[in-house]
Structure 1
């Protein structure tokens, strides 16, 4: 049950806070309907809001596609039967008045009354309506106002054919709110969907646009703020909504960038990394480089004995623990003098990169016998997938963090991977079932806390599709967790901040070195410059 609309101005509407709040909120179709219903019930006329929204959309389109830069100044407007179509008709009118050559195609005859009124006025102004889609396909720019949020039925028949033809025509496409055919919550195409170059999301970020499934359809994303009262938004989604978009401001707020003047290394966290094998020697180094960038006070790395000289030469500031080896060059056991069940000197442990399954023996005691946060990645996850995952995580007295990519997730949670329809649902169900913080890695990496809170990282790059990128992330997160565990910071928020930081390093590296130039070691070297770029001058 939602709280009633409060009168007056929310404290969140103070100068400088509004855009930050809007950028972090993500809503479902049901929540957006409720927000709009409260606004209309409070007295905002639907027609007035449509005029305001569409005016802002038209202005943004003129910025993106100035009339002088369009080859023939032609704009085709695809109009649906509902209020999304009404928005498109107001946009068509405004662009027409600014001198664009506008054509309108409305393939569905029956329209809502307000949309029909705008269509009538557009005809009065002399804007041409065309009976078929062909004239629009020859335009330089197409405005997609066919369907907005809330669509649930698949597109079929002539409408589906029309959508496919528009997507394949070669014109630039701007979608209003969501690309037509996209499910508002899952981001999946309902049969088919418009493939837009830009999507101008109205009011608040829709859940579907933050899903990985939407990436082939939405293009560049822009949020159009049309003045929804934040008091109304918080009445529906809460001041701490369960689904949040990661932004620079929220991420930086949860990084360990402030320290007491009298601190020392033992107060800044001690991370134990368990990584590497003869086959995957570089994994331990890459994880170590990520951990070093985190600023963790002390870093210990357990590796097979033969890797110790290599790690010492590359990470002289870390304490390298040489471990007994198996015949295949994997860690057979931790050093004899390191009894973690009796005395654990570490504030966090991260295990898995490059271990191979031959190192499984070392994972059991850290899973059952340690009382500090434990992050499992790579072969740590592959080992866990052979266990009863949920019960093994729940039996730990300290937090567990799992960082799977999609394939590892399917091995860990096979039932959830098939029973749930989208990544957000999968990650949250896994976190709640296991009691672990789940970092589901991908083009839209998700961080799900067992308490029901979830973060989505909206900015990333395919440059991260390189071996070793995940090892760097493991080390970075491990170092941040080690620090947060001592200071009492919320671990899930700290982890989400680390995910954002890692992707920002990749984006900066790709911008300077191209998408092909972001190997994992290079990525680690961009961690601190990327963070510095987002910080105010000292």
Structure 2
């Protein structure tokens, strides 16, 4: 297991540092290692060769010490370096580095505005663990910096961001790049922090695996879902001797006269998963339309209400490997949810399937088979009005424990939690997926993938979200964020998989656009 994919809390990071310090690692040695690793990462950026003048914001703690080491190294490499030190150091080690900077003759400015002529600014005001709001002159200084046009690089986390929740503590620096030190902090996957992070990377400081395991002594842990996990879940290669029913049979219950397209998009998402057999239950009047778009599917025309919604399900629900229910149903369907919940089959509930549930998701705990819920933030708020969805880690896991279901909370950083504590975060996505129909595609993709996979449901949910996000990124790269319509997204799902087949499992990695690797 790659420790660089672990996502930790402030308390866990403090415990990890305390453990290595107690084992004999000098604080000064760790600071030097962190700052030199950071310096090398900055020097590797394409923008750095053109940098002649560097401004460095120096805070009172060890984050300020890191910044001073970076300042020293840039000065020794011939760059002109200016320091802004709004608060005298509170840590002796930081004071030592400031004394040496004075010895080297690094000049100071009285205000952030004094750095206006610098080519690059390094933010070392406050690192992880900040709890008090930034106010007064410091808040004004941050506001001034945010109005400036220079490239800003933050050390560990932008100053003013809560390391766990990602909330802005009074004021926060908007960085262009943020280098997380050691292990990923939760704020990097909280949506409220994303506008401040810029492009991100985590720098490995070589913490011993044993020390990390001791701190994370209550597995399972929170992790980023990456290409390695995706490969493990994907049901490839298939056996040479197989048939369609061995590759899964998914049932989609979706669509209405009002939302006819939802049934088609959900079906296309399932088709892209490679599922062996696909049945789609729709109102009878929609059957010809769906058959025309998905001729390989078994389309069941269901009795419908006067408003054009499904009135009843003329199906034996126990025949299927996975059921997905909800896209485009409307709330005017007949009493179908009870029979769906009672079916002894894994179930994906999305959209109106979630809206038909009572507050708190009553009835899910008693289901005879696993369930995956795929809410966006608004749907989560309706189901759990007492939860604060701004902390995606707490909200997603709390909802999973309360319902006994796997919860996939959609968003810029999709979070997936199982009731037993298994937790994945999709590390990247694109705002191009913020379009009607994208969620329908994900529901179909998830249902089809789950029907053909033997992996745990929480891993399959993460794999579907990961694949969906990667396809969105690829489509945005070739057609811009405005061009990621659901049909292009479906077509790109296959292209992503085609690349995987072409380059082989060892080298496969979904494309990363607009980030720093």
TM-score for both structures, normalised by structure 2: 0.94
Return the alpha-carbon distance in structure 2 between the equivalents of residues 165 and 360 of structure 1. 58
Q: Does 1:373 align with 2:359?
A: no
The reply to whether residue 75 of structure 1 matches residue 75 of structure 2 is no
Aligned twin of 2:407: 438
| 1:195 to partner: Cα distance | 0.5
Q: Distance in 2 between matches of 1:404 and 1:460?
A: 17
- Alpha carbons 2:305, 2:334 under 8 Å: kept: no
1:360: how far off?
4.2
* Number of equivalent positions: 504
Q: Deviations over 1:218-241 (max 9, x none)?
A: 110011112111221122114954
Cα deviation, residue 437, structure 1? 0.7
1:210 CA drift (Å): 1.5
2:332 alignment partner, SS class: helix
2:426 aligned to which of 447, 457, 460: 457
Tell whether 2:363 aligns with 1:392: yes
Query: Which residue is 1:383 aligned to?
Result: 356
Matched residue, 1:359: 333
Q: 1:49 to 1:213 in 2, by over 3 A?
A: same
- Find out whether 1:269 has 2:235 as its counterpart: no
Moved more, 79-88 or 236-245: 236-245
CA–CA distance in 1 between the matches of 2:58 and 2:34?
16
Query: Hey, what's the Cα distance between the residues in 2 that align with 1:321 and 1:535?
Result: 34
- Asked whether 1:228 is paired with 2:207, we answer yes
Alpha-carbon distance in structure 2 between the residues aligned to 1:115 and 1:292: 58
Alignment match, 2:464 = 498
Deviation string, structure 1 residues 287-346 (Cα, Å, up to 9, x no partner)? 0011011111110000111111111111111111111111111111122xx243xxx110
Q: Provide the secondary structure at the position in 2 that maps to 1:40.
A: helix
| Residue 245 (structure 1) aligns with | 224
List aligned pairs for 1:159-178, cutoff 5 A: 159-178=138-157
TM-aligned CA distance change 1:170 to 1:241, over 3 Å: farther
- Residue 535 of structure 1 deviates from its aligned partner by 5.1
- Cα distance in structure 1, aligned partners of 2:496 and 2:210: 35
Contact 2:62 2:94 in 1 (8 A): yes
Q: Would the alpha carbon gap of residues 494 and 240 (structure 1) be closer, same or farther in structure 2, given more than 3 Å must change? A: farther
How far apart are the structure 1 equivalents of 2:78 and 2:410? 46
Matches within 5 A, 1:5-404: 21-64=2-45, 66-70=47-51, 73-238=52-217, 241-335=220-314, 338-340=315-317, 344-368=318-342, 370-384=343-357, 387-404=358-375
Paired residue for 1:532, among 493, 498, 506?
498
Residues 206/422 of structure 1: CA separation in 2 closer, same or farther (3 Å cut) = same
Instruction: Encode CA deviations 1:364-383: one digit per residue, 9 max, x unaligned.
Output: 21113x00011111111111
Distance 2:71 2:89 in 1: 19
Pairwise CA distance, 1:260: 2.5
Residue pair 2:312, 2:334 contacting (<8 A) in 1 also: no
Asked whether the 8 Å contact 2:190–2:390 carries over to 1, the reply is: no
SS in 2 for 1:439: strand
CA contact (8 A) 1:23 1:247 kept: no
**Cα distance in 1 for residues equivalent to 2:271 and 2:218:** 35
Structure 2 gap segments, 5+ residues each: 505-517
**Structure 2: how far apart are the matches of 1:104 and 1:506?**
42
> Cα deviation per residue 1:138-184 (whole Å; 9 max; x = unaligned)?
32211000011111111111111112211221211000000001111
Matched with 1:409 is 380
- Structure 1 stretches lacking a partner, 5+ long: 1-11, 13-20
Contact 2:192–2:390 (CA<8 Å) still a contact in 1? no
- Secondary structure at 2:269 match in 1: helix
Question: 1:66 deviation in Å?
Answer: 4.8
Q: Which residue among 421, 433, 438 is the counterpart of 1:469? A: 438
Distance apart, 1:272 and its partner CA: 0.4
In structure 2, distance between residues paired with 1:328 and 1:172:
56
**Cα distance change of structure 1 residues 37 and 198 upon mapping to structure 2, 3 Å threshold:** same
SS of 1:355's partner is: coil
Change (3 A) 1:136 1:534: farther
After TM superposition, give the deviation of residue 68 of structure 1 in Å. Answer: 4.1
Per mean C-alpha deviation after superposition, the further-off stretch among 222-231 and 236-245 is 236-245
Cross-structure match for 2:511: none
Q: Could you tell me how far 1:511 is from its partner in structure 2?
A: 0.4
Whole-angstrom distance in 2 between the partners of 1:508 and 1:535: 16
Task: Tell me the equivalent position of 1:478.
Answer: 447
Runs in 1 of length 4+ with deviation above 6 angstroms?
none
Q: Secondary structure of the equivalent of 2:407? A: strand
Indicate the larger mover: 35-44 or 315-324: 35-44
- Superposed displacement of residue 388, structure 1: 4.7
Separation in 2 of the partners of 1:100 and 1:67? 11
Instruction: With the length of structure 1 as denominator, give the TM-score of the two structures.
Output: 0.91
Q: Is the 8 A contact 1:437 1:449 kept in 2?
A: yes
1:9 matched to which residue of 2? none
- Secondary structure, counterpart of 1:359 in structure 2: coil
